[in-house]
Structure 1
């Protein structure tokens, strides 16, 4: 298990045990994390799983692909560290990953 820390826009942290190979979005949905609706079910066809990745993990989560960037164009409050959590695969390297949901998703 890999620990993922979800932080809402007010600063409330929720720690979740994520399974290797699942997405950060899937772990959030399985654990009822508020602010990650995942309307498209992880198909990278919406931006309702938008998160801000903690700076310490940016290199470990990889680069945005073109489709992900297209979906983020529709999201509110996009920043340099914005990602769609459905596009981040849980690996041992992400143990302790902290992601924050934007205020617009609450």
Structure 2
């Protein structure tokens, strides 16, 4: 997926994590969207555990609650995953897209400090 296509998809969705990820990509963040898919229910379980851990250590996920709701609403549909990373401030964005990569279903931002 090219940078402009991903920026268009991120701009279609409301939310602080989508906006922050778009800003990071526009500023030159490294990013990737993988071709393989993972069932949304598996992603829901995985990221619910991560959200609990991050909250426990005092580092909540930007857009985490909304992302978990969207993943849960996706049932067992296959989703692609992707990521974007910036160095200043060090932030990891986790992306969840439809199997055909026509929509970003959810986005999470995690402060890496």
The alignment's TM-score, normalised by the length of structure 2, stands at 0.27
Question: Which structure has the greater CA radius of gyration?
Answer: 2
Structure with more contact order per residue of length (Cα contacts < 8 Å, sep ≥ 6): 1
Give the structure with the higher percent helix: 2
TM-score, normalised with respect to structure 1: 0.28
